[in-house]
Structure 1
Amino acid sequence: MINLFENFDRDTLDLLRSQKTAGFNIPTVVINDDGFLPKDVTSPINHYCEFDNIENPLYFDKLPVPKFWRIEATAQSGIIYDIDRRRADIYFHKVDNSRLVKQVNWLDESGKIAWSDHYNHSGQKYAKTIYYNGNPVLKKFFNKAGKVVIIEHLVSGDIDLYENHQQIHFNDIVDFIIYYLKSNNYQLDHILYNNLNVPFRVSIRLDQPGRDTLFWHESWQPEMPGNMQYIINNSTRTKHIIIQRYRDWTKTKELVKLNQQNVDFHYLGMIYPHPRGNRLSSNALITTNSDQIEHLDEILQAMPNLHFNIVATTQMSDKLLAYAKYSNVDLYPVASYQKIKNLLSDCDVLFDINHGPELLDTVRAAFEQNMLIVSFKDTIHSPRYISPGNIFDTKEITQMEQKITTALNSVEVMKKIIDTQRIDASEVTIDQYKRTLKIISKT
C-alpha cells in the first residue's frame, strides 16, 4: 500500500496527518515536488536529484547576485534590482514568514520571465524552467553535482531521464511515475490517491491487479467529474471512493448508494489538531490588512463586554487607528507572525468580517484553536471551517451578539457549538478513522 499524491497542498497534508494520527504510517510519494516536502514524504524528483535530508535553506539575503545588484524584500516576496532596473522576482516558501527562497524568476529586457531557478529546503538549485515568449517550455532537474538528470518537455509532455549513463525516454509523466514506482519496489497492490489527474491515470495504466482508493476532498459539484463517472461505470483498480467533506456527503449519500456496482462509497473526514479547548473568555480577534471591516462600529457598540483585538501585518489607516477610542479595543499594526499566533492562542471568538483577502489563513488557525468563529455572508473567507449557523446576514448583528453571549455564558452551549463547528468541518475521531481504513484495507 502507498499514498500517491499529485501535489502536497493543505488537503493532502490533512489526509496524511490524519492517517498518521490514526496510527497508519503509509509510504507516501508526491509527484510534483516543490523542494520543501516533509522528511517522511518522497518523490521522483527527490530521488533522482538526490536531495539532502539536512535542512539548510537559502535565505533571501544569501542569494547570489551580480556585484552591485541589490535585493529588496518584504515578508512575502523580494525583487532583485540592477540600479533601478528590475531583474528578477523572488518567491519565498510560505512558512512562518521566514523568507526562505523557493523560486527566482529572472526577467528579460522586455520584463517577461526568461527562466526560473527553483531551490529546495537544503538551498540546492535543483531545477530550472526555461520560458519562450513568457510561456514555460522546458524544465531541467539537477542532482547535487549540478548534472542534468531529468528534462521535462512542458509543451509535448514527454520526459527524458538520465540514469546510470543512459537516457530513458517516457512519452508522458504517467509512464515516468510508473517506472519510478516499479524500479523502487513500491507495493502497488493498493494505491491511495486524492486527485483524478496523474495519480488516477497511473492507477488506470498499471499493468498489474490491485484495489485502489480515491479520497475525494473537493466540493461536490451538481455532476460527478468525468473520471469519477468512469470509475463508477467500469471495472477498474479503484474499488473505494472516500468522500471527505461532511456537508457534501449528507447531500449525496443517497445518490452514491445507487452507484456501488464497481465501487463502494464511504464518508471519512479529517483528524484535525486542537492544541486547546475554548476557555469562554471575552477576548475576540479580528485580522485584516484593510480598514474595510463590516459593521465594526455597530458590533463594538452591541458587544461592549467583548475585548476586541484588531491585528494587521501592515500599517493601519487613520480610519482604523481611530478605533483606539473604544475602551474595549486594542490595535496591533505591523504585527509579527508570532504576535498573531499568541493572539490566536489567547482569544476565544474570531470575527471573520473583514473585506479583502484572508490574513495568514486565520480562519483555519482559529478552528484548530476551537475558537467560536462568526462571519457575515458577504465577508466569509473559509466557509469550510464555519458552521452555517454562525454565518449571518449583515442586518443580523443582534442575532450574532445573542449567539456569542449565550455561548460565552454556558459551557454546555459552547461545547455544542464547537462540536457542531468541528462536524461541519468534516472532523472525525481516531476510532472512526481506524475503522474505515481497516475496511478499505481488507476489501
Structure 2
Amino acid sequence: MKEGTTGGIKKAKMKKESEKKEDKNMIDDAILLMDNYGPDSQALHTSLKLAGFDCPAVVLEDDGFLPEDVISVYGFFLGDFRAAMGAKARPKYFNEITVPEYWEISGTNSGGKVQDLYRERGKIFYAEPKHRRLVKVVDWYDEKGVVRSSDHYNRYGALWGRTIFNSRGQKVNRTYFAADGREIIVENFVTGDIILNEDGEVRIFRNKTEFALHFLVRGHFKQSRIFFNSLSTPFFISNRLSSQVKRDILFWQEPITNEIPGNMQVIFRGEASRTATVVVQKKDTYDRLTALGAPKNMVQKLGFLYPFEKENAHRPEALICTNSDRIEHCEELVKALPQMHFHIAALTEMSSKLTGMDRYDNVSLYPGVKTAVLDELFETCDYYFDINHESEIVSAVRRAFLHNHLIFAFQETVHSEDFMAAEHIFPASEWEQMRTCAEAAMADTKVLRKMLQKQKKAALAESVESYRSLGNGKTAK
C-alpha cells in the first residue's frame, strides 16, 4: 500500500472521530425540558441516556417523586431534602400522616381516606406503584365535602407543597416549602404570578415562563441547546431565548387530529426563534403530519431506545396481570392452549370466579402478589396476554415489552397499544385467531422472532446511531 494512501486513511479516521466527538458535544450541551415526567418523557430521557449522552432532564411540574437524575424547576430552589432529613428521608406510608385525635385513617391498594366518625375528612392519593401505599397527596375537605386544601409529600416523606382551593373547589394558590419548613415559592393560579424568596430577596415573576427562564440562568443552562416535548411552556421558553442558529428540537409525542397545532405551524413557517426541527415519536402521528402537509425537511421520525431486560427464551409461559375477574375469553384460551401455562397475578384478592380457574393444570394464580414474585414472573414468562378488562396494573404491558414477551390483546381490552403489533390485536369475537397466532409462535422459533420484530417495529425501537444523528446537523440557520 502506498504511503499516501495510508496517510489518507489515517486522516479520514481522525476526521470521523472528530465529527463523532463534535456530534456528541452538541447533545451533551443540551438539556431536556419537559412539562412533566410522564411515560413518554421517561422514554425519551432513557433513550438519550442509553445513547450515551449526558443530557440533564428538567421538568416544570414536580410530583415529589421524580428520580434522582431529574431536576425540578421548583425543587431547584427548595434545597436538598435528602440531605436535610438524613436517616428519616423515606416516603411516608399512608397511615403515617398527621390527623386530629380520634380521626381514623384507612386504605386499600388504590387509595386511602381519613374519617371523623362517619364523615370523610380527607382523601389520600398514592405514588406509583399504588399498591405500596406511599403518600403523594392528601386532600382535605370542609364541612360541605368540598376540597379546600391539598398537602403534597415527596419521596423523602416531607411536606413540600400545599395547594389552597376556594369554596367552589377551584385552585387559588400553592406554597412550596424548603426541608426546614420555610416558604420559598408561592404560585398564584388566578393571576399566574410566582413569588420566589431567594437569598434574602423577593422576586416576582408574571408567569411560569419567566420563572423557568430565571431557573435557566441560575442553573447555568441559558446557553444550552433545548430538547422539549411540549408546545406549551417549554416551547414558550425556547422561543424567548435568542440564538443565531436554530438548534432546539421539538420531540412530538402526542396524536394529531384534523390539523397541525398552531405553535407547530409557527415552527414550520420559520418563525420560531430557535427551533427548526420536529422529531415525531409515534408512527401514526408522523404519517398524519406528513399527510397534512408538514414540510419533510423539518420533520423526522424517531422512536425510542428501550432498556430490554432479557431475551425471549421461547418458553410456553404466559402472564396476565389484573385486578379484575373480567378476563376476556380466559377460560377458552386456557382450554384451547393446554401446552401454554398461564400465570394470573393480581395485587388484590381474587373473586371466586377467578380462583375457580385453579382447576386447570396449566393455570397458576397469584392473589395479592408480592413485588418479588411479580418480578420473577416477568423474568420467567415469554408471553403476555393483555386481555383483562378495567384498568392496567403495574404498567404491565410496558414491562412485558421490555422483557421481550410476545404480547397479544383484544381490541376491547388493549391498554398500551404502542407496545404491540397491530397484527397481534384481535376482536374479542375472533379469539380463536389469537389462539392460532400463539400456537404458531410456540411451534416455531423463527415465527416467534418475526413476531417480536414486528412488535419492536410498531414501538419504533431505535438504534444508538439514530440518536447520535441528532447532533449531526439536523438543524437550520
TM-score normalised to structure 1 length? 0.93
1:44 and 2:73 aligned: yes
| 1:258 aligns with one of 292, 295, 298 | 295
Matched with 2:213 is 178
**3-state SS in 2 of match to 1:182:** helix
Whichever residue aligns with residue 124 of structure 1, its letter is A
Aligned partners of 2:223 and 2:291: how far apart in 1? 32
1:314 and 2:380 aligned: no
| 1:334 aligns with one of 361, 368, 379 | 368
1:212 and 2:241 aligned: no
**Is the contact made by 2:95 and 2:106 (CA closer than 8 Å) also made in structure 1?**
no
**3-state SS in 2 of match to 1:396:** helix
1:2 and 2:2 aligned: no
**3-state SS in 2 of match to 1:272:** coil
How much does 1:126 deviate?
Answer: 1.3
1:153 and 2:182 aligned: no
How much does 1:50 deviate?
Answer: 1.0
1:230 and 2:266 aligned: yes
How much does 1:183 deviate?
Answer: 3.0
Matched with 2:338 is 304
Aligned partners of 1:259 and 1:413: how far apart in 2? 35
Structure 1 segment 349-364 matched on structure 2, within 5 A: 349-364=383-398
1:246 and 2:292 aligned: no
Aligned partners of 1:256 and 1:85: how far apart in 2? 57
Matched with 2:49 is 20
Q: Which has the higher helix share?
A: 2
**3-state SS in 2 of match to 1:270:** coil
**Is the contact made by 1:160 and 1:167 (CA closer than 8 Å) also made in structure 2?**
yes
Aligned partners of 2:195 and 2:31: how far apart in 1? 25
TM-score normalised to structure 2 length? 0.87
Listed as ranges, the gaps of 5+ residues in structure 1 are none
Whichever residue aligns with residue 35 of structure 1, its letter is G
Aligned partners of 1:63 and 1:441: how far apart in 2? 51
Structure 1 segment 119-134 matched on structure 2, within 5 A: 119-133=153-167, 134=169
How much does 1:439 deviate?
Answer: 3.8
Matched with 1:286 is 320
Structure 1 segment 44-443 matched on structure 2, within 5 A: 44-54=73-83, 55-95=89-129, 97-133=131-167, 134-209=169-244, 211-236=247-272, 237-250=274-287, 252-253=289-290, 258=295, 260=297, 264-440=298-474
**Number of aligned residues:** 440
User: Which 4+ runs in 1 deviate beyond 4 A?
Assistant: 207-210, 250-257
**Is the contact made by 1:88 and 1:107 (CA closer than 8 Å) also made in structure 2?**
yes
- Which one is further off, 432-441 or 195-204? 432-441
Deviation per residue, 1:344-386 (Å, 9 max, x gap)? 2221111111221122221111111111111111221111111
**Is the contact made by 1:270 and 1:427 (CA closer than 8 Å) also made in structure 2?**
yes
**Is the contact made by 2:247 and 2:476 (CA closer than 8 Å) also made in structure 1?**
no
**3-state SS in 1 of match to 2:429:** coil
Aligned partners of 1:64 and 1:257: how far apart in 2? 54
Aligned partners of 2:116 and 2:294: how far apart in 1? 63
Deviation per residue, 1:189-209 (Å, 9 max, x gap)? 421100111101111222455
Deviation per residue, 1:99-155 (Å, 9 max, x gap)? 222111111111111111111122221111001121111111112232211111111
Whichever residue aligns with residue 161 of structure 1, its letter is L
Matched with 2:11 is none
Whichever residue aligns with residue 102 of structure 2, its letter is F
Check 1:208–1:146 CA distance in 2 against 1; reply closer, same or farther (3 A cut): farther
Structural RMSD (CA): 2.1
Could you tell me the percent identity over the aligned residues? 35
- Which one is further off, 360-369 or 291-300? 291-300
Listed as ranges, the gaps of 5+ residues in structure 2 are 1-29, 84-88
- Which one is further off, 196-205 or 319-328? 319-328
